[in-house]
Amino acid sequence: MPNSPPANEPWKLLADMHPIAKVSVGQILGLVEAIDEVGGSADVATISQEVEMDIDRLGPIIDAAELLNFVKVAEGDLTITELSRKVLHANVRERKKIIRDIIDDVPIFKQVMEMAKVAGRPLSREEVLGTIAAQVGTHNADDLFDALVYWGRYTELVHYDSESEQLTILMPSQ
Amino acid sequence: MAVTRKQLRAAAAVLVLLAAVAAVLAPGAALNAGSLALLALYSTIRMALAFILSLVFAVAFGTAAATSKRAGEVLIPILDILQSVPILAFFPPALLFFYYSLGGSAVGEEFAVIFLIFTSMAWNMAFGVYEALTTLPGDLKEAASVFGVRDWLRFRRLFFPATIPKLVYNSMLSWTVGWFYLVASEAISSGSLNLERPGLGSFIFAAGQRGDVPAILLGIGALAVVVLLLDTFLWRPLSVWSERFRMEQTAGGPTTRTTAPYERLRWLPRFPRIRRWLSARLAPLAKGWNRAASPLDHYYVSHPKLVRTVRWVDLAMFLVILVSVVVTGVVGIAAILTSPMPALAGEIPAAIAASLGRLGLAYASALAWTIPVAAWVVQSPRASRFVTPFLEVVASIPATALFPLIIAFAVLAVGAFGLEAELSAYMVALFAMQWYLLFNLIAGMRSIPGDMREAAKVFGLRGRIYWKRVLLPAIMPSLLTGSITAWGAGWNALIVAEYISYAGHVYRVGAGIGYLIAYSTYTPGDQGRLLLLSVLALVVVVLAMNKLLWRPIIKRASTRFRIEIQ
Amino acid sequence: MTAGSLILEVKHVSKSYSENGKEFRVLEDVSFEIHDRDFICIVGPSGCGKSTLLREIVGLDLPTSGEIRFEGKPVQAENPRISMVFQSFALFPWLTVLENVELGLEAHKVPEEERRGKAKKYIDAVGLAGFENAYPRELSGGMKQRVGIARALVMDPTLLCMDEPFSALDALTAQNLRDEILQLWTNPDIPPSAVLMVTHSIDEAVYLADRIVAMSPRPGRIVKIESVDLPRPRNRKEPEFYGWVDEIYSLIV
């Protein structure tokens, strides 16, 4: 995988965003399970055959899994981490909490949350897109926004109304 | 590609400035403009009333035809025939009925006009509802059954939402058509009948009678402004909202085909703020509606016997009405046919032939210019940006409003040869037909899959081969849809165009079925038989064209090109 | 075998269609029973009538001969105690996730407060908390199916029927969802009492089911009903697993 981010700063890749934008939680967890089933470590080709998905489709999922620290990638071999073992055996709600703790630290999320606090009202899609585009350019802004909404909703940090295109940050109810 | 809101605001500011300057320079004209606004309001209200009637009819009729197979077998053929009858053929009987039965009062006239517009809208909206319901995905119906969603709730949550995209689409189409008939019907002055209802149509007509070209232009301008305002504040938000109800093609990869009426609005921005404001206002209404509907559901479920009895009574009433209409119609027609043929009846075949020829010529001319222009607009983004709004505005002017200008032009051009009536009839038909073709073609060409175009480039397909092998097959569905609609519009246009009075003169073509129909409507005396025969002849020709020409072509096109035609 | 109470009886059910004067036999003399705490998979080649059978059990279709009894009484459509999950998700595109899940409750006149609470509970249980106001087009395939599952479970059904629920999903999402279904199944707080699933994937059947009903090609007959006694969670890489798959495969071919 090109450009692996430094191990303790996975969120740097998030700023570039492409992988996680089109990948769902289910796919990431499915990948982790598939690796677990063959013993916890395998090379990409094997996994690709196991799940009957070609490398093009698998790539973004692997990137996203790596981002969230669920999978370690080294010389074409995928290994699941302690964290992902924990996630595999957690129930649906515990998984959310684990992922929420990771997402919470991502700069983009933090930035949008600041915006919302300062504004004191729901943000419109245009406003958030503008801020995002300033960081990553207009080309990727839409994808990043969708990812923000998706992961934000999943971790219950964000409320988005697609009809009125209003984004609200939910105060974390830990 | 859309015009931005900033640009629109700038344009609006310029217009307002111009208007202010004009008002200062010519106070008299400004006063006239004020009355124009009022007239515009009247016309719009008439349209709105007809539209609401059509909506109710379409939903009731379409749902009945779609939910019960037996009802469908009776109702759909009726709709088919009603749709084939050129709308202006409805006008004389409607006029006679409403006007005279209400003692020749203004109310009667209004009813007649509204009824006419209703007939121009209702049939295709009913078809839209019917089609939407019959193409409802089976798994949604099954899910509704499994979870116990039936009767009124089923209608609210499943059937009605499913019809919304087609309803909005057909509503926009209907309004465009409706303006045409509104303008034609607000003022009738032929023979013994002299009707005039205040509105933009009568304003333009009166100006035409006086030969007052500036006033004509003003009237046309006002009409264009009204259409633009409606497009911006009603249709564009509505069509964006209706996207929510669209069924997705399963498994991503949506090839969103922009169809003709939506093509019209592409250049307008999406106005999220307007939509937000509207939905904030309407949401409590929707909630209240839902809440009020629950006791109704409740009632339905707890009184099944009552519901069944009501249904039977409904059906019985409907059958009684249907049978009496059919019997009266048959008896009336028989009576008229058994009485001696009117003298002019012999002209009917020649009249049909002449009108067919006229329309054929107009159709060919329209094709000749719309195909290249559509190709050009689609290929050049700059052309799209600037030309589309312009074409938009011009197309929104109904051909009937342009009469006075067309006749004036025709008189100037060929008055010396005495051909002005022929030329103007041809031009009106052309104007009525060409926009349907143009916008459908643009939509069709836009939806040619990008990779097909690329493949053509890679293989060096150009010129005639490109047209023959790539372009033509790809646009066939749009071409057909556009052609069918265009011909329908053409027939209707001829009914008004083959017999026109302007500035005190009467212009009539040598032979034409439109002429015969108009003549028999407005000439005093017992013309009922001639009218009926002419209308029948026209209906027969239109139905024949449908069955013998359009249907087979559609069949051939959909198998050969394996594309779906709407 | 499981000594739970009898939930469903399928007795000598046959189904045939006539088209152009010819008669097509789709199902032939199918009989089996479902008890409390059964997880049953019907497997068979395509065209063997398994989806037809499922629809007859749910009440969407009628058998040509034979009968189906649910809790002792003949089957009716719209029975809230039998719920269904669809292969194509069958979500209403103009309703939010919450409104979709509530739909069955709304149809049964459950008051707003109560049905909202119940729907939210099940939306949370399938892992979709936070998406209540999203529309189906904003969701991925796996999420849509979760909505379908929540919608079915919120009715508190005794029998949950699933028609090839994972065949429209990619392999990773499908596997993830299968595991979550098993998690829900082992949770005593969550209905249903029994699950009946139709699938064309033998792997899937062996992975999930307690009992497998193997059907022949058309006209569909029951070849054999096997009880799979592997402990859960099952590992698809284990030789025992392969053994079962091979055996079922030989039965339906």
pLDDT digits (tens, 9 = 90+) for B441-456: 887 777 776 677 777 7
Bridge partners of B195? Answer: B188
Question: What is residue B526's predicted lDDT score, i.e. its pLDDT?
Answer: 62
| Minimum Cα–Cα distance from A126: chain B residue | B272
Phi/psi at A161 (5° precision) = -105, 110
Bridge partners of C70? Answer: C8, C73
* Angle (deg, nearest 10), helices B200-210 and B27-67: 130
Task: Give the single-character DSSP code of C231.
Answer: P
Question: What is residue B273's predicted lDDT score, i.e. its pLDDT?
Answer: 65
State how beta strands A166-169 and B193-196 pair.
unpaired
Q: Which of C86, C79, C60, C234 is nearest to C146 (CA)?
A: C86
> Which residues of chain A have a CB within 8 Å of the CB of B275?
164
**Counting Cβ atoms within 10 Å, is residue C50 exposed (0-12), middle (13-18) or buried (19+)?**
buried
| Interface residue A51 vs chain C (CB under 8 A) | yes
pLDDT in tens, C21-31: 788 888 989 99
What global pTM score does this model have?
0.76
Mean pLDDT of chain C: 89
How many residue pairs from chains B and C have C-beta atoms closer than 8 A?
Answer: 76
Question: What is residue B437's predicted lDDT score, i.e. its pLDDT?
Answer: 86
In one-letter notation, the amino acid at residue B207 is: A
Rounded alpha-carbon distances, angstroms, from residue B35 to B15, B187, B203: 19, 17, 10
CB A115 within 8 A of CB A131: yes
More confident residue, B406 or C94: C94
CB B465 within 8 A of CB B368: no
Alpha-carbon distance of B340 to C227, in angstroms, equals 87
* pLDDT higher than 70, residue B464: yes
Contact A160 C134 (CB under 8 A): yes
For tokens 């409390």, the residue is C36
pLDDT in tens, B69-78: 777 777 777 7
| Minimum Cα–Cα distance from B244: chain A residue | A163
Bridge partners of C8? Answer: C34, C70
More confident residue, B76 or B286: B76
Rounded alpha-carbon distances, angstroms, from residue A27 to A74, A147, B105, C91: 21, 14, 72, 21
Contact A163 B244 (CB under 8 A): yes
Residue A134 in tokens: 């300033």
Question: What is residue B194's predicted lDDT score, i.e. its pLDDT?
Answer: 65
Contact C84 B140 (CB under 8 A): no
| Minimum Cα–Cα distance from A96: chain C residue | C127
CB A91 within 8 A of CB C186: no
CB B457 within 8 A of CB B443: no
* pLDDT higher than 50, residue B115: yes
CB C247 within 8 A of CB C230: no
DSSP string, B218-286: HHHHHHHHHHHHHIIIIIHHHHHHHGGGPPPPSSS-------HHHHHHTTS---HHHHHHHHHHHHHHH
**Can you tell me the mean pLDDT for B249-270?**
49
In one-letter notation, the amino acid at residue B300 is: Y
Nearest CA to CA, how far is C34 from chain A (Å)?
A: 28
* pLDDT higher than 50, residue B342: yes
Contact A33 C179 (CB under 8 A): yes
Helix (H) or strand (E) holding A68: none
CB B108 within 8 A of CB B100: yes
pLDDT in tens, B145-176: 999 898 788 888 998 898 888 888 888 878 88
Q: Which of B336, B256, C183 is nearest to A89 (CA)?
A: C183
- Percentages helix, strand, coil for chain C (3-state, rounded to 5) are 35, 25, 40
Alpha-carbon distance of C25 to C36, in angstroms, equals 31
Residue B13 in tokens: 């500011």
Q: Judged by CB atoms within 8 Å, which residues 58-77 of A form the interface with C? A: 61
Q: In chain B, pLDDT over 70 holds for what percent of residues?
A: 71
Contact A24 C140 (CB under 8 A): yes
Tell me the pLDDT band of C212, cut-offs 50, 70 and 90.
very high
More confident residue, C85 or C61: C85
Question: What is residue A1's predicted lDDT score, i.e. its pLDDT?
Answer: 39
More confident residue, C69 or B295: C69
Bridge partners of A160? Answer: A167
**Can you tell me the mean pLDDT for C179-202?**
87
Helix/strand/coil for B494? helix
**Which of C153, C176, C190 is most worth mutating to test chain A (most A CB atoms within 10 A of its CB)?**
C176
* pLDDT higher than 80, residue C85: yes
Phi/psi at C27 (5° precision) = -125, 145
CB B470 within 8 A of CB B561: no
More confident residue, B470 or B372: B372
Q: Judged by CB atoms within 8 Å, which residues 179-238 of C form the interface with A? A: 179-180, 183, 235-237
| Chain C: partners with 3+ C-beta pairs within 8 Å | A, B
Q: In chain B, pLDDT over 90 holds for what percent of residues?
A: 6
Nearest CA to CA, how far is C155 from chain B (Å)?
A: 8
* pLDDT higher than 60, residue B2: no
Question: What is residue B151's predicted lDDT score, i.e. its pLDDT?
Answer: 78
Mean pLDDT of chain B: 76
Contact C130 A26 (CB under 8 A): no
Nearest CA to CA, how far is C142 from chain B (Å)?
A: 12
Phi/psi at B258 (5° precision) = -80, 120
> Which residues of chain A have a CB within 8 Å of the CB of B276?
164-165
More confident residue, A8 or C235: C235
> Which residues of chain A have a CB within 8 Å of the CB of B279?
163-164
**Which of C51, C54, C55, C88 is most worth mutating to test chain B (most B CB atoms within 10 A of its CB)?**
C88
Contact C86 B298 (CB under 8 A): no
Helix (H) or strand (E) holding C241: helix C239-252
| Minimum Cα–Cα distance from C133: chain A residue | A161
Find the CB nearest C88 among B139, B150, B298. B139
Alpha-carbon distance of B122 to B128, in angstroms, equals 10
Phi/psi at B99 (5° precision) = -65, -55
**Can you tell me the mean pLDDT for B227-231?**
84
Tell me the pLDDT band of C150, cut-offs 50, 70 and 90.
very high
| Interface residue C51 vs chain B (CB under 8 A) | no
CB C154 within 8 A of CB C104: yes
| Interface residue B279 vs chain A (CB under 8 A) | yes
**Can you tell me the mean pLDDT for B364-368?**
93
Nearest CA to CA, how far is B140 from chain C (Å)?
A: 5
Bridge partners of A166? Answer: A124, A161
**Can you tell me the mean pLDDT for B211-221?**
77
Alpha-carbon distance of B481 to B553, in angstroms, equals 11
Tell me the pLDDT band of B142, cut-offs 50, 70 and 90.
very high
Which residue stretches of chain A have pLDDT < 50?
1-17, 173-174
* pLDDT higher than 50, residue C63: yes
Nearest CA to CA, how far is B283 from chain C (Å)?
A: 14
| Minimum Cα–Cα distance from B249: chain C residue | C137
pLDDT in tens, B490-547: 888 888 788 776 666 777 877 888 888 777 766 666 666 777 778 778 878 887 888 7
> Which residues of chain C have a CB within 8 Å of the CB of A156?
129-130
Task: Give ipTM to 2 decimals.
Answer: 0.90
Question: What is residue B147's predicted lDDT score, i.e. its pLDDT?
Answer: 92
Helix (H) or strand (E) holding B168: helix B160-185
Question: What is residue B564's predicted lDDT score, i.e. its pLDDT?
Answer: 45
B237-241, B285-289, C33-37: which range is least confident on average? Answer: B285-289
Question: What is residue B256's predicted lDDT score, i.e. its pLDDT?
Answer: 40
* pLDDT higher than 80, residue B144: yes
Q: Which of B113, B32, B146 is nearest to C55 (CA)?
A: B146
Question: What is residue C96's predicted lDDT score, i.e. its pLDDT?
Answer: 93
**Can you tell me the mean pLDDT for C57-84?**
87
Bridge partners of C211? Answer: C40, C227
Question: What is residue C146's predicted lDDT score, i.e. its pLDDT?
Answer: 95
More confident residue, A14 or B300: B300
Alpha-carbon distance of B9 to C208, in angstroms, equals 62
Task: Give the single-character DSSP code of B548.
Answer: I
CB B297 within 8 A of CB B152: yes
Helix (H) or strand (E) holding B89: none
